[in-house]
Amino acid sequence: MGKKKLLVIEDDPGLQKQLRWSFDAYEVVVAGDRETALAQMRRHQPAVVTMDLGLPPDPEGAAEGLATLQQMLQHAPETKVIILSGNQERAHALKAIAMGAYDFHQKPCEPEMLALVVERAFYLHAMQQENRRMLQIEADSPLAGFITRDPGMLRLCRSVEKVAPSSATVMLLGDSGSGKELIARALHKMSGRQDKRFVAINCAAIPETLLESELFGHEKGAFTGAGQQTLGKIEMANGGTFFLDEIGDMAMALQAKLLRFLQERVIERVGGRTEIPIDVRIVCATHQDLRELVRQGRFREDLFYRLSEIVLAIAPLRERVGDCALLAHYFKNRFCAAEGRPSMGFNEEALLAIEQYGWPGNVREMENCIKRAVIMSDGPQIGAADLGLPLAQSEATLNLRQVRDAAEYKVMVMALARADANIVKAAELLGVSRPTLYDLMNHHGIKT
Ligand X SMILES: Nc1ncnc2c1ncn2[C@@H]1O[C@H](COP(=O)(O)OP(=O)(O)OP(=O)(O)O)[C@@H](O)[C@H]1O
What residue ranges bind ligand X (CB under 6 A)?
Answer: 145-148, 174, 176-182, 245, 287, 363-364, 367
Look up residue 420 and give its amino acid.
D
Q: Which is nearer to ligand X, 9 or 244 (CB)?
A: 244
If the CB atoms of residues 145 and 360 are measured against ligand X, the closer one turns out to be: 145
- Nearest residue (CB) to ligand X, 65 versus 179: 179
What's the closest the beta carbon of residue 197 comes to ligand X, in angstroms?
18
**How many beta carbons lie within 10 A of that of residue 100, not counting itself?**
14
β-pairing, 345-346 vs 381-382, is: parallel
Contact 199, 237 (CB under 8 A): yes
State how far the Cα of 357 lies from the Cα of 391, in Å rounded to an integer. Answer: 9
H helix runs in 347-422, sequence order: 348-356, 362-376, 384-387, 404-418
Closer to ligand X by Cβ: residue 135 or 256: 135
Smallest distance from ligand X to CB 155, Å: 14
Q: Closer to ligand X by CB, 314 or 419: give it.
A: 314
Q: Which residue is nearest to ligand X (CB)?
A: 179
> What is the distance between the alpha carbons of residues 139 and 160, in angstroms, rounded to a whole number?
18
CB closer to ligand X out of 178 and 377: 178
Nearest-angstrom CA–CA distance, 154 and 172? 15
Closest CA to 346 of 362, 369, 365, 364: 369
**Is 20 or 364 the residue whose CB approaches ligand X more closely?**
364
- 3-state secondary structure (DSSP) of residue 170: strand
Full DSSP string of 28-47: EEEESSHHHHHHHHHHH--S
Smallest separation (angstroms) from ligand X to the CB of 148:
5
SS3 state at 420: coil
CA 353 – CA 385 distance, rounded (Å): 10
Closest to ligand X by CB, 318 or 364: 364
**Nearest residue to 186 via CA among 172, 176, 174:** 172
- Least Å distance, CB 364 to ligand X, is 4
Residue 375 CA to residue 293 CA, distance in Å, equals: 42
Q: Determine the Cα–Cα distance for residues 222 and 212; give it in Å rounded to an integer.
A: 12
